[in-house]
Amino acid sequence: MREAPPKRRVLLAELERRSVFRASAVYGAASFVMLEALRIWAPPLGVAPAAVKVATLIVLLCYPLALWLAWHYELSGEGVDRTDLADSDEIRRRTGQSRLRRWAPTLLGIVGILLLAGSAAQIFLA
């Protein structure tokens, strides 16, 4: 019988399988674009700085919700479906992949977080 993979690898494989890293990257990039556009266009349009900060706060508070939705639901050709539990063979196959294959989605998720944090920091610290 094969050894069970480390729990950290199992968690990362499950996050990748459920597209949580992809959701983090997409949410972070979309939020970055939206907040930067808001930061640039708010003063000429006469939007109060407090409204920009409130919008930023809403985007930041919705980030965990986006990750939760990515964990529990998946988009498919038929629409939105609840994500099924993975069997042990699928987890073993995913944890046995090369490092590059395992870490690429993780790095995308981190980039999403950094984009969102950078944009929020520019607005709150300005």
Domain segments of the chain as ranges: 7-125
H-only helix segments in 1-126: 7-17, 20-45, 49-72, 88-95, 99-125
pLDDT tens-digit map of 5-53? 677 777 777 777 778 888 889 999 999 999 999 999 999 999 999 999 9
| Residue 30: half-sphere exposure toward Cβ, Cα within 13 Å | 11
Torsion sign over Cα 81, 59, 35, 16: negative
pTM of the model: 0.76
